[in-house]
Structure 1
Amino acid sequence: MASVQNCYLLDTSVILDDPTNILRISDENHNGVVITNVVLAELNSKKDDMRSEAGFQAREFFRLADAAWGEPISFIELPECVRNHVDMEECKNDRYYRLALNFDRSLHGGEEANLIDLFIVHREHYRVAHNFSEPKGINDAKIGEIADDYDLTLLSNDMSFRIAAEIRGIRTQSIRNSSVEAPEQIDFTYTYEYEETPAIPTEVNHHNFDQLTFIQKALSTSSEMYETGIQRHAFCFNNQIEWCDFDRRFGEHFSDELVRPLNVEQKFYYAMMTHPQNYVTVVSGSTGSGKTLVALQAGLELVEEGIVEGIVYARNTVTSNDQQAELGFRKGDEEQKLAFFMYPLYSAVNFTIEHQSKRSIDARVEYTGNTNSVKRENATEVFMKKYNIEVMDIAHMRGTTISRKFVIIDEAQNMTNATLKLIGTRMGDETRLVVMGDPGQIDHPFLSKRRNALVSLLNKAQHNNFIAGIQLRHTIRSQVADWFDKNF
């Protein structure tokens, strides 16, 4: 038996969260999705805002609407669930419009394009406008009036609006498509104990590149269980245990030109990025956890082995300062401006140069990073040319295709999902992508620890075999840096 058809009236906040919410709520046109002329006007007022995510989402909605097919319709052409409980006396002067939105499902987890109906209720004169005394909230009250007259479920992410509506007896729900409610609980590490043969419990379902640690225990002469000190590490891949022999991987055969990972989580991280079947890695970690340095080493190995042709580093240019400190206000040409934001890369490069200089017989040209500032700058340039390392502004990725490169995207916690989608769709054949950031350092004025591209991708990695996720929780820097990370 077919499920019950539901009809929803959307508040502006639902569309500003993500216009593709319409696609999900509609459920292939099984449910009725309605907005009012008030919502349409609010979206129109926000579309010229070029600095906020709300402005971007409003423009996304109108891009869909501009490509839609639409026509005025009569009351009888509304979905049955809209017509079933309508107050005909209060709604007799309302007018209706249907927009057939052309959603490309290939961009939203589906296979093909399809038309999704969005119904617009237009009311010229709202009763609530005549006796509304509050200085704010008149538009919410108008939307609530439509929900009440048509007996629709109101979808809104505005808690104050929902409370006001429920007091009036209106059914409400919220929807936050891009918000991750418990990002601190995201984890990809699992520890199991074993006595004879390591195994994953049959009731546990793992995704690709989950990080597994098996600890051996044995029975003592006094019949007490104790840890033998033997630990084995593995990835889960295709529901099988894929053993990671870190002693061999990072032992005497590991290139002396590269900086070795220092702890188990860094070793998992390195092995994950260089795995033949992994093309997208998302990593979170605080300052000093080795995100950039270890990623650079993995990229260098892939370049040396001919798997990729170079390394691309792109870092979000959102700053923790005021607007005058942003990229456009700095002195110099584009390359000089961008250099201000590339210190994490240059720091990792110089650390690698100094590491190599200690092992290089001829340190005169390439490995002079530890002599003086002039030679250090020259060494950095030579190093980056040798390994074909380039920096890029994410704003200039639109219209490009990056093929056979190792791409490092930094500061993803300061990106919207739309920006990350732009980056991801620029990746060409045989390119490997690493997305990194620190969810504890949000500088973007419209994002939060629950709502940013980094935690969204981490959340997807928990449920998708295509994306490898890892969290670096160990800080390898000063005690001061560690204290501030944990206490602020």
Structure 2
Amino acid sequence: MEKIYVLDTNVLLQDPNAIYAFQDNEVVIPAVVLEEIDSKKRLADEIGRNARTVSRLLDGLRTKGRLYDGITLDNGGMVKVELNHKSFAKMQELFVELTNDNRILAVALNYHVEEQSKPTPRPVILVSKDVLVRIKADVLGLTAEDYLTDRVVSGSEMYMGYVNVHVHPSVIDEFYSFRQLAVSTLNLGYSLNPHEFVILRDELGTSKSALLKVNGDGKKLEPLYLSNEPIWGIAARNAQQRMALELLLNDDIPLVTLSGKAGTGKTLLTLASGLMKVEDEHKYKKLLIARPVVPMGKDIGYLPGEKDEKLRPWMQPIYDNLEYLFDTKKSGDIDKILAGLGSIQVEALTYIRGRSIPGQFIIIDEAQNLSKHEVKTIISRVGEGSKIVLVGDPGQIDHPYLDAASNGLTYVIERFKNEQVSGHITLERGERSHLAQLAADLL
């Protein structure tokens, strides 16, 4: 075994299978980590579920031997629960307080000192999702790393859903003449995904251009089928919004993902499309709108009233958009409209587990605050004849254990980008107001 990895609690609470992610190296779980996991196992959320999963995994390994001595894994590595290296003596000069984080650091430091006394010392690496723990480790002279195995993709490689391609003007003329184009004509050197969009631009510098979409098998480029007519009073204001509407209104694409900064029109476009499909075309029986109950900043605690009254503050952004689409004049008008229609349902994601949802247009707002497990649970609820749209901004995550590269929305975007049943667009240009666009760019 070449390296020793000491795991922080947050790594296991983020990914219960992290003990198998370090190949043939030794994985050390400090005893204090077990105590922290034990304190989380009764929680009813994703963290509690992961704490219980870790407990079951370690209990299963315990049948193969003593965790204190170390148990060999199938990948050739070893996992052990550490009890001997918990002395705090070497830590006291720098970090006096006996916190759980400092106790984990003490285990890593004691391992490091012990290894340095050997003829062929092994590197000791502390793995933590906590930035300050990694900084403290650096102060102590320890190597510390973030846990990146759960990341789907790096930020610079995130799938945008469209590409800009500069071609000879004759290629653009050919497309307008025949209304289609073979992907191979572009000589890209890489393949395009189903339902990916292509913006052709003249390589000679003129204003000649064309907007195309890859067909389902990824071999042909076709024109957009929708005109830029307003939908429930909403018209696309830029190319990316037009691409989004093309996906949202296509009944042959049951999974659509939209990402982008605040004010780019993600939720408004999706709601307008859903209303058109449900109320005008009657393609779906119901419009179901849901969002995770994750607060931004300090939680406001328990709320009074029945379920609908409790959910109203969390769902208010949805109601704001609906009020704009229905052009209501007075407070409370939107509630009367929704009660009269009966085909629009707004609720929290808390109640979606166990359901089967056929024949509905489903919108999941703020999907960036979902974990991989949660987003799998949601999409697997989709029944026959339903369409689901995941909307969110990976740059605005309020969940303590997720980031832009490991959240459920990014996970779905990357896993489904090669599938014919899905389409994705990243909206970049803010359309809410000039001030909102400046805030998104500068703050």
Would the aligned equivalents of 1:299 and 1:311 in 2 still touch at CA under 8 Å? yes
- Between the aligned partners of 1:465 and 1:99, the Cα distance in structure 2 is 42
Residue aligning to 1:73: 65
Task: Provide the residue aligned with 1:240 in structure 2.
Answer: 219
Report deviation, 1:212: 0.8
- One-letter code of the match for 2:17? T
Question: Residue 228 and residue 151 in structure 1: after superposition, are their counterparts in 2 closer, same or farther (change >3 A)?
Answer: closer
Aligned Cα root-mean-square deviation (Å): 3.9
Greater Cα shift, 289-298 or 449-458: 449-458
Alpha-carbon distance in structure 2 between the residues aligned to 1:48 and 1:127: 24
Residue from 18, 21, 37 that aligns with 2:18: 21
Distance in 2, Cα, partners of 1:425 & 1:128: 48
Deviation at 1:434, TM superposition (A): 1.2
Which residue in the other structure is 2:180 paired with? none
Q: 2: distance between equivalents of 1:376 and 1:342?
A: 13
Give 1:16 shift.
3.0
Q: Counterpart of 1:269? A: 244
Q: Counterparts of 2:81 and 2:321 in 1: how far apart (Å)?
A: 58
Name the CA distance, whole Å, in 1 between partners of 2:351 and 2:86.
49
For 1:333 and 1:405, the matched residues in 2 are separated by 26
Partners of 2:414 and 2:196 in 1: CA distance: 13
Shift of 1:289: 2.0
Work out the CA distance in 1 between the residues paired with 2:384 and 2:314: 28
Amino acid at match of 1:15: L
SS at match of 2:69: strand
Cα shift at 1:52:
8.5
Code of the residue aligned with 2:7 in structure 1: it is: D
Q: Which residue of 2 aligns with 1:86?
A: none
CA deviations on 1:293-333 (whole Å, 9 max, x unpaired) are 21123223443555432221002222335322x5x32x321
In structure 1, the partner of 2:182 is none
Q: Which residue of 1 aligns with 2:382?
A: 427
**In the alignment, is the contact (CA less than 8 A) between 1:283 and 1:437 conserved in 2?**
yes
- Give 1:377 deviation, angstroms: 4.2
Question: Which whole-Å CA distance do the structure 2 matches of 1:404 and 1:161 have between them?
Answer: 53
Please give the secondary structure, in 2, of the residue aligned with 1:323.
Answer: coil
Aligned residues: 411
Distance 1:63 1:462, change over 3 A: same
**Using the alignment, how far apart are the partners of 1:345 and 1:36 within structure 2?**
44
Specify whether residues 179 and 52 from structure 1 end up closer, same or farther in structure 2 by C-alpha distance, changes over 3 A only: farther
Residue 399 (structure 1) shift: 2.1
Any stretches of 5+ residues in structure 1 without a counterpart? Answer: 75-93, 101-114, 218-224, 355-368
What is residue 80 of structure 1 aligned with on the other side?
none
* Alpha-carbon distance in structure 2 between the residues aligned to 1:373 and 1:163: 55
Kindly tell me: are residues 425 and 129 of structure 1, through their superposed partners in 2, closer, same or farther at Cα, counting changes over 3 Å?
Answer: same
Is the Cα–Cα contact under 8 Å of residues 16 and 54 in structure 1 kept in the other structure? yes
Residue aligning to 2:193: 207
Matching of residue 62 in structure 1 with residue 39 in structure 2: no
Give the equivalent residue in structure 2 for 1:85: none
* 2:333 pairs with 1:333: no
Q: Quick one: structure 1 residues 408 and 256, their matched pair in 2 at CA, closer, same or farther if it must change by over 3 Å?
A: closer
What SS does structure 1 have at the residue aligned with 2:318? helix
- Summarize deviations over 1:390-444 as a string: whole Å, max 9, x none: 1121111222222232211111233333433332333333332211123343444
Q: Deviations over 1:12-69 (max 9, x none)?
A: 343233123334445xxxx355334526534434424739876553333124445x36
Give the SS at the match of 2:270: helix
- CA deviation string 1:92-117 (max 9, x = no partner): xx9435498xxxxxxxxxxxxxx888
Distance change >3 Å, CA 44–CA 235, structure 1 → 2: same
| Aligned residue identity for 1:176 | L
2:435 pairs with 1:480: yes
Residues 69, 377 of structure 1: CA spacing in aligned structure 2 closer, same or farther, 3 A cutoff? closer
Matched, 1:299 2:274: yes
Rounded to whole Å, the distance in 1 between the matches of 2:156 and 2:134 is 23
- Asked whether the 8 Å contact 1:14–1:175 carries over to 2, the reply is yes
Quick check: 1:235–1:241 contact (8 Å CA) kept in 2? yes
Match of 1:141 among 101, 106, 122: 106
Report the Cα offset of residue 472 of structure 1. 1.3
- Ranges in structure 2 where 5+ consecutive residues have no aligned partner: 116-120, 173-184
- After superposition, the C-alpha distances for 1:164-201 in whole angstroms (9 at most, x for unaligned) are 78x57xx8765323347753663332112332125433
Name the counterpart of 2:175.
none
Segments ≥4 residues shifted beyond 6 Å: 115-118
| Alignment check: 8 A CA contact 1:22 1:33 kept | no
| 2:150 match | 178
Q: Structure 1 residues 284 and 374, CA, compared in 2 at 3 Å: closer, same or farther? A: closer
- Larger Cα-atom Rg: 1
Cα separation, 1, equivalents of 2:258 and 2:292: 15
Amino acid at match of 1:204: Y
Q: Distance in 2 between matches of 1:346 and 1:227?
A: 44
Q: SS where residue 227 of structure 1 aligns?
A: coil
Q: What does residue 191 of structure 1 align with?
A: 164
Distance 1:256 1:291, change over 3 A: closer
Q: Partners in 2 of 1:139 and 1:72 — Cα distance?
A: 26
Aligned to 1:322: 298
Secondary structure at the aligned position of 1:196 is classed as helix
* 2:324 maps to amino acid: F
CA distance change for structure 1 residues 339 and 212 in 2, over 3 Å: closer, same or farther? same
Separation in 2, partners of 1:418, 1:62: 18
In structure 2, the residue matched to 1:110 is none
Task: Determine if contact 2:359/2:383 at 8 Å carries over to the other structure.
Answer: yes
Q: Structure 2 CA distance, aligned partners of 1:232 and 1:98? A: 57
Alpha-carbon distance change, 52 to 447 in structure 1, aligned in 2, over 3 angstroms: farther
